[in-house]
Every structure is written in structure tokens, then in C-alpha cells.
Amino acid sequence: MVFYEKMKSRQVNPHSKDLLKIMEDNNNSILIGLTKITLDFDVLQIQYSGRCDHTMDNVNWNLSDINISFISVLKKLFTVLHEQGHPDYYYVIQLQI
């Protein structure tokens, strides 16, 4: 079984319903401040093109503006597929929702 087939055969996460609704209302792509949020199938990607001295708080503020939970909460609710960088330069996280 290939990786994507394993992803599709998993159980649906009950926490993803609200997040999917927000993304569907915005055509699966949202740009707010320095944060870009995209949904591709069941993979949510959050990119933050930061500035010097920015922290995860800056990312979290942008997410909370559109009623999405903080990164730390999302990491507890969903499987992290990829995470790289730091908010003071460039940060990206991919979550399977």
C-alpha cells in the first residue's frame, strides 16, 4: 500500500470539521498578514514569511484572526507531516486533517 492510500484509509479526525468549513468558505486558500494557509485534499499547509524577531506568537495571532487554533493546539489535534523553519525568517508546517 502506498503512502497516500494509507492516508486515505485512516479514520476521519472529528476536529477537522470546523477547519474544513473555514477553508471551504475561502476556496481552500487564505492569505492574512504574512501567513498563507492552503488546503490540498486533507493536507493543511501554513506558511509564514516572517521578519526579524518574529515569534510563533505572530503566526498564532494571524491564525486566531480567522478562528483557527494556535499551532501548538493544531499539532496536538492533527498529524504533523512536515515542519521546518522559524517565524523570524520562513516557517512552514503541513498537517493531515
- Residue 2 scores a pLDDT above 80: no
Domain assignment present for 24: yes
Query: 69-90: per-residue pLDDT in tens?
Result: 999 999 999 999 999 999 889 9
Range of the domain at 28: 18-96
Domain assignment present for 42: yes
The total domain count for the chain is 1
- Residue 59 scores a pLDDT above 90: yes
Query: 29-41: per-residue pLDDT in tens?
Result: 999 989 999 999 8
Question: How far is residue 52 from each of residues 48, 60, 79, 88, measured CA to CA in Å?
Answer: 12, 16, 29, 5
Domain assignment present for 3: no
Domain assignment present for 9: no
Write down the pTM of the prediction: 0.84
- Residue 93 scores a pLDDT above 70: yes
Domain assignment present for 54: yes
